[in-house]
């Protein structure tokens, strides 16, 4: 049997989609959460000096999306054909672009970066959010299934549903995107995902 060890900080962040793929699949794994005090001693031993990190029978794999794609392939959450898989990857890459565009706002909001949160919200976050969520809304209309791509769950549904849930919990205005609010609720009420959300460690982000 394959042994999975997943290492990340004690937060959702870039690690949560991986944990949700494993939860959906019912796959046992070691959920290794390191503290900021432990991290400096581990950093140089990781492939790129960052977390998350998945170890598969002791072999390390870094980069959250590479890990998600690898596990999604193992657990059939990559779409039903190569074309769907490519569409999932396109949305995932766009999600990274949006995250980079809005990074200064998210960092300031978490207390990790400089700047006035309200100014960054208006100038940085809201334009990026509106642009990206318009793309997501088009994807939902195109699939017509309630899932972003095709007619079944893929890992990008898990990633976007969690991000939307985090934004909603912070009071974000989804008035223009009720379909994405519905999407988040639908995905997060899938029994395996709901069970994970109900039992996972409570962290601020």
Residue among 51 and 108 whose Cβ is closer to ligand GSH: 51
**Residue 10 sits in the site that holds ligand GSH (CB under 6 A):** no
From 5, 10, 13, 103, residue interacting with ligand GSH (rule: CB under 6 A)? 13
Site for ligand GSH in 45-74 (CB under 6 A): 50-52, 63-65
**Residue 76 sits in the site that holds ligand GSH (CB under 6 A):** no
| Residue 81 CB, nearest approach to ligand GSH (Å) | 26
* Closest among 36, 70, 37 to 53, alpha carbons compared: 70
**Residue 162 sits in the site that holds ligand GSH (CB under 6 A):** no
| Residue 80 CB, nearest approach to ligand GSH (Å) | 25
**Structure tokens, 59:** 């072999």
DSSP for 128-197, written as a single string: HHHHHHHHHHHHHHHH-SSSSSTTS--HHHHHHHHHHHHHHHTT---TT-HHHHHHHHHHHTSHHHHHHH
**Structure tokens, 16:** 């949560």
DSSP secondary structure code for residue 48 in this structure: S
**C-alpha atoms less than 13 angstroms from C-alpha of 21 in its C-beta half-sphere:** 28
Residue among 92 and 124 whose Cβ is closer to ligand GSH: 92
Residue among 28 and 93 whose Cβ is closer to ligand GSH: 93
Residue among 43 and 76 whose Cβ is closer to ligand GSH: 43
**Residue 7 sits in the site that holds ligand GSH (CB under 6 A):** no
- Tell me the C-alpha distance between 167 and 173, whole Å: 8
Report the interface residues with ligand GSH, using CB under 6 A: 13-14, 43, 50-52, 63-65
């Amino acid at each position: 049997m394959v042994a999975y060890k997943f290492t990340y900080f004690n937060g959702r962040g870039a690690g949560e989609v991986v944990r949700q793929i494993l939860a959906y699949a019912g796959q046992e794994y070691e959920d290794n959460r390191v503290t900021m005090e432990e991290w400096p001693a581990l950093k140089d031993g990781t492939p790129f000096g960052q977390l998350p990190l998945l170890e598969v029978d002791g072999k390390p794999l870094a980069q959250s999306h590479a890990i998600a794609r690898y596990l999604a392939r193992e657990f059939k959450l990559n779409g039903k054909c190569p074309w769907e898989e490519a569409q999932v990857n396109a949305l995932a890459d766009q999600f990274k672009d949006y995250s980079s565009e809005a990074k200064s706002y998210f960092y300031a909001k978490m207390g990790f970066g400089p700047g006035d949160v309200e100014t960054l919200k208006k100038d940085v976050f809201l334009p990026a959010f509106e642009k990206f969520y318009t793309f997501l809304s088009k994807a939902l209309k195109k699939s017509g299934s309630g899932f972003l791509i095709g007619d079944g769950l893929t890992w990008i549904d898990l990633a976007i549903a969690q991000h939307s849930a985090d934004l909603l919990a912070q009071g974000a205005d989804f008035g223009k995107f009720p379909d994405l609010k519905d999407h988040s609720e639908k995905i997060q009420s899938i029994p395996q995902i709901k069970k994970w959300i109900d039992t996972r460690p409570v962290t601020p982000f």
